[in-house]
Amino acid sequence: MPTPPARKFGLSNLRAARKSGEKVAMLTCYDYSTAGLMQKAGVPALLVGDSAANVVLGYDTTLPVSLPFMIEITAAVRRGAPLCLVMADMPFGSYQGSLDRGVRNVCKMVQRSGCDAVKIEAAASQLPLMRELADAGVAVIAHLGLRPQAVGILGGYRFQGRTADEAGGIVAMSMQMRDAGAAGLLLEAVPPEVSKAVVEAVEIPVIGCGAGPACDGHVFVTHDAIGLSPRSPRFVPQLGDVAGPMVNSFSDYVRRVQTRQYPAAEHCYEMPPAEKAEFLKKVERIISF
């Protein structure tokens, strides 16, 4: 069983894993308590994904989630898992449209959340932003392949790299992002042949999200793997059923309340006997008055 990290797992460790061939496990995380459990379990890297829009806030897409919300939950994850590498998603609209605005918002995320790296869904238009942030010393992970913030253009949540031209474009863009200063790549929903070509084309770490075994690390939405989502993508392993025990626990609580088993004496605070006696006399006088 993996052991909790004895020291901080950072970008240098991710780069070292890339060179050594060691595979890095990453999970999405959105809160302080879960972050602590993941660190205790030995998960070295956490992604505070904009998928919080779906699994935390209940939206159909990732688009509605805001920058202040992402900063707040990233800071919570950072506090819960100080020894993990924490990667923060930049939400839709926070880095597009203006180079100055993009740099300002990314720096705000880093300063206020304490994250180790930020992730942006990358296209050619983000190359100037990538260069500017790299020059400023910000570690940026470029997200290629299926980009949930661009589902309108991509035609839905479909895997990418279906054709030779499409796959070649992903490889070419990964090299451009590397040249612009990207600290790493995240490939989502691409065939194994595409991720293998990307890994061979660049020397920076490549994290896969449904992208095959060639990637240096792997990540997926945690809720999809532990029974907290109504359906899961095919690339997500089923690690357990957290939902079943939770429902049973909540149901048991309802039963205890309805049958008056809760609260019992052990759940109540007790006044000192002398104070209790004095209080009861006082209440009697108040009521009789």
Alpha-carbon span 281 to 209, nearest angstrom: 68
Look up residue 14 and give its two tokens: 């991710």
Residues known to be catalytic = 188
Dihedral sign for Cα atoms in the order 155, 236, 94, 67: positive
Burial of 181 (0-12, 13-18, 19+ CB in 10 A): buried
Tokens 């992604």 map to which residue?
47
Alpha-carbon span 105 to 90, nearest angstrom: 8
Per DSSP, the residues of 209-242 read ESS-TTSSEE---HHHHTT-SSS--TT------S
